[in-house]
Amino acid sequence: MTRTALVRQAGTRTSRIGGAVFGTGWSRAPTVAVVSVAIAAFVTGCNARSGPPAAAGPARDTAASSAPVVPVPVSTTARRRTPAPSAPRPRTPASSPHASPPSAPRPVLRPVPVPPACQLDAPAEALQRSADAGLLPWRLDPAQVVRECLRSDLGNAAWTISRVDSSTFTAAEPRSRLSARLRVDQPARQGSGGIWAVVGIHASAALTLPPACAIADPAGLQASFDEGHQPWLGDPVTVAESCVIAAFGWRHAHGRLESADHVLVIDESIGRAADVHGRRYNGGDIWIVGSVEPEIGSD
């Protein structure tokens, strides 16, 4: 039923009531008042059933509130946490299975005297004439001259000889840890057919101790001697003879004590001799060879 129909029906009912109770002589003012009260009561009842009126506000707010609400889909998947960046670790280079071990530092080479056994034992011109006659073929090969120099002066050893250039060679020996650089030259004739000679040496130590006579651990050797092993190590003559035999291969070496630190070793079968110098080990009794100087032979 519309609000206009309700007003008309209320007016009709009021007129009838007014006509029956009060008669038709009443004015319209009371009737209108009664009708207004009835309408207000009716409207109030309708509003009470439909809920409280919306609060007044600006027109744009009302329009916004009346707009349809679009539901926002909520993701059901848990938001993944991004881990905090960690500090970069220093990169360690991967080790290669074929990596070579660290190399030992190179020994310092200094100038040392050319040993008498490496020097020419005759004038260069005379040696050149002998070489031209075919008597000294090894003098024409600089590598052979370097090897003969080391063999004559320091004896037999595991020499490693390498050629650097036309006049420079390097030599190394593992037992004594000797390293050397030898320079050669042609003193009589330059070029093919000229003899060669050692004219300069730079080495880690003087070329005076044959590797065969070097002792790596004298303290250990002294301790073994104190326990009764190798008693001959306390005899300078025997030690000097053993050194010369091991270094130069003299089979009939015979030593003679010249002083407490000097033994002369002679092999009469080949006419060779060598001066061996040594000393007692500090605080011990063994005799240690310090240098060997073989006599100068002839080419």
**pLDDT tens, 165-178?**
999 999 999 999 99
Q: Is the predicted pLDDT of residue 18 greater than 80, yes or no?
A: no
pLDDT at position 7 is 40
156 φ, ψ (degrees, to nearest 5): -75, 135
In this structure, the strands spanning 160-165 and 254-259 are unpaired
Residue bearing tokens 């009939």: 252
Mean pLDDT of the chain: 78
- Name the CA radius of gyration of the chain, rounded: 61
pTM confidence score: 0.62
165-223 pLDDT per residue, tens: 999 999 999 999 999 999 999 999 999 999 999 999 999 999 999 999 999 999 999 99
Q: Give me the pLDDT at residue 271, please.
A: 94
Residue 6 has pLDDT above 50, yes or no: no
Cα distance between residue 169 and residue 154, in whole Å = 17
What's the pLDDT band for 104 if we cut at 50, 70, 90? Answer: low
Is the Cα torsion angle 176, 181, 186, 190 positive or negative in sign? positive
Q: How confident is the model at residue 146 (pLDDT cuts 50, 70, 90)?
A: very high
What per-residue confidence (pLDDT) applies to 27? 42
- The whole-number pLDDT of residue 49 equals 46
Domain-by-domain residue ranges, the chain?
3-49, 110-207, 212-294
From CA 48, how far away is CA 166, in angstroms rounded?
Answer: 123
DSSP β-ladder status, 254-259 and 272-280: unpaired
pLDDT of residue 77: 45
| Cβ–Cβ < 8 Å for 197, 123 | no
Is 88 or 34 the better-scoring residue by pLDDT?
88
Q: What confidence tens digit (pLDDT) does each residue in 29-78 have?
A: 444 444 444 444 444 444 444 444 444 444 444 444 444 444 444 444 44
Instruction: Give the pLDDT score at 20.
Output: 39
Q: pLDDT grade, residue 284 (50/70/90)?
A: confident
Choice between 177 and 106, residue whose per-residue pLDDT is larger: 177
Percent over 70 (pLDDT), the chain: 64
The whole-number average pLDDT for the span 79-105 is: 55
Provide the pLDDT confidence category of residue 28 given band limits of 50, 70 and 90: very low
